[in-house]
C-alpha cells in the first residue's frame, strides 16, 4: 500500500490580470501549502475509490472524482493498466478554495508514479496535471511557487516554512466558475517584487470581492480573523475558506479558540506553512 498526503493549498496572493480567449483567465498567484490536508492511499486491484473522513459526504454522488480521472489519465499516458484501489480520507471542505480536489488528484498521481517507478518530476506527470485542472500542477509540485498563465507555469520559491496558519471556512461552498464570472475585469497590476512574505503582504486576491458578494459569510470570517492580530488575513482562491498568518503559534491558537467559541459550526484548522 502506498500513502500520499494531499495538503491544503492556499493562495497567499491571487492577481487576475485578464480574461483569455480560451475561457480561462491570466493569473499571477502565489501558491503555498500547509502541513495538513487529505490523505490518499493506493493498493493493488481493479480501479475503485472509497471516500472516508469528515467531509466524505460532500463527495457522495460525485460520479467521476478527480482521483479516478487522474488514474485513467496516468494509464493512458504511461501505457499501464487502468487499476488501483484508492482510498481518499477527506479532511478538507469541498469547493472551498484550498485545492482539495486538485490536491487529491496530485496525490493520486504521485502514488501511481511511485507504484510504477516513474520519477515524481517526470514532465509527463505535469502534462497530466495541467489537463486535470489549473491548480493540479501546483499541488503536484507541492512547494511554494509563483504560478503564471492559468497557474500551471510554476516558479519554485523559498517560503516561510513553519509559519503558523489558521484556516477558517463558514460552511459555505462557492462555485469557482461563478466567482470568476463575477470578476469585474479590472487589471489592478502585477505581483510586486520581494520575498514570499513581502509578496503576500503587498499582494491581494482579486477574487475576494466577487466571492464576498456571492457569499456574504466570507465577510464575517475575514472580520473575525482580522480581530486576532494576524500578520495577514485573506481569502484563498475563489473562497470561501480564508486564512491568517501569525507571528507565533500562541497567537494562532488564541484566535482559533475565540472563533470556535463564537462560531462552533465553522470549520477551523490550526496548521503551518509547509
> In total, how many domains does the chain have?
2
Q: Which tens digit of pLDDT belongs to each residue from 49-77?
A: 999 999 999 887 666 799 999 999 999 99
Of the candidates 9, 38, 89, 251, the residue annotated as catalytic is 9
Of the candidates 38, 89, 135, 206, the residue annotated as catalytic is 135
Cis peptide before 18 (omega within 30 of 0): no
User: Is position 135 annotated as part of the catalytic site?
Assistant: yes
Domain boundary among 156, 190, 219: 156
- Shared domain for 9 and 129, answered yes or no, is yes
Name the 3-class secondary structure at 206. Answer: coil
- Shared domain for 146 and 194, answered yes or no, is no
- The values of phi and psi at residue 126, to 5°, are -70, -30
**Structural domain of residue 71, as residue ranges?**
2-156
What pLDDT is stored for residue 63 in this prediction? Answer: 63
Q: Which tens digit of pLDDT belongs to each residue from 250-266?
A: 999 999 999 999 999 99
Q: Which tens digit of pLDDT belongs to each residue from 167-211?
A: 999 999 899 999 999 999 999 999 998 999 999 999 999 999 999
pTM score, whole prediction: 0.95
Which secondary structure element, helix H or strand E, spans residue 225, and what is its range?
helix 217-226
Q: Which tens digit of pLDDT belongs to each residue from 9-44?
A: 999 999 999 999 998 999 999 999 999 999 999 999
Q: What are the C-alpha distances in Å from 55 to residues 18, 35, 102, 259, 260?
A: 34, 18, 15, 20, 18
Cell of 86: 484508492
What pLDDT is stored for residue 95 in this prediction? Answer: 87
User: Is position 187 annotated as part of the catalytic site?
Assistant: no
Which secondary structure element, helix H or strand E, spans residue 131, and what is its range?
helix 123-132
140, 110 Cβ separation under 8 angstroms: yes
Strand partners, 270: 166
- Shared domain for 173 and 85, answered yes or no, is no
- Shared domain for 68 and 192, answered yes or no, is no
Amino acid at each position: 500500500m502506498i500513502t500520499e498526503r494531499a495538503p491544503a493549498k492556499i493562495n497567499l496572493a491571487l492577481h487576475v490580470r485578464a480574461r483569455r480567449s480560451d475561457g480561462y483567465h491570466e493569473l499571477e498567484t502565489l501558491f503555498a501549502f500547509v502541513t495538513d490536508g487529505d490523505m490518499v492511499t493506493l493498493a493493488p486491484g481493479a480501479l475503485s475509490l472509497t471516500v472516508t473522513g469528515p467531509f466524505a459526504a460532500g463527495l457522495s454522488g460525485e460520479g467521476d472524482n478527480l482521483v479516478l480521472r487522474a488514474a485513467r489519465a496516468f494509464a493512458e499516458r504511461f501505457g499501464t493498466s487502468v487499476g488501483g484501489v484508492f482510498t481518499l480520507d477527506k479532511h478538507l471542505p469541498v469547493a472551498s478554495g484550498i485545492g482539495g480536489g486538485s490536491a487529491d488528484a496530485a496525490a493520486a498521481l504521485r502514488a501511481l508514479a511511485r507504484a510504477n517507478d516513474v520519477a515524481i518530476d517526470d514532465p509527463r506527470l505535469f502534462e497530466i496535471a495541467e489537463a486535470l485542472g489549473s491548480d493540479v500542477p501546483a499541488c503536484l509540485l507541492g512547494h511554494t511557487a509563483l504560478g503564471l498563465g492559468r497557474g500551471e507555469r510554476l516558479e519554485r520559491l523559498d517560503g516561510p516554512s513553519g509559519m503558523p496558519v489558521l484556516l477558517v471556512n463558514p460552511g459555505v461552498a462557492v462555485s469557482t466558475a461563478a466567482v470568476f464570472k463575477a470578476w469585474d475585469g479590472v487589471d489592478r497590476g502585477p505581483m510586486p517584487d520581494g520575498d514570499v512574505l513581502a509578496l503576500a503582504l503587498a499582494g491581494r486576491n482579486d477574487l475576494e470581492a466577487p466571492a464576498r458578494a456571492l457569499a456574504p459569510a466570507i465577510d464575517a470570517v475575514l472580520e473575525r480573523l482580522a480581530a486576532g492580530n494576524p500578520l495577514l488575513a485573506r481569502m484563498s482562491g475563489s473562497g470561501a475558506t480564508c486564512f491568517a498568518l501569525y507571528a507565533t503559534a500562541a497567537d494562532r491558537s488564541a484566535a482559533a479558540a475565540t472563533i470556535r467559541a463564537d462560531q462552533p459550526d465553522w470549520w477551523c484548522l490550526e496548521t503551518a506553512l509547509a
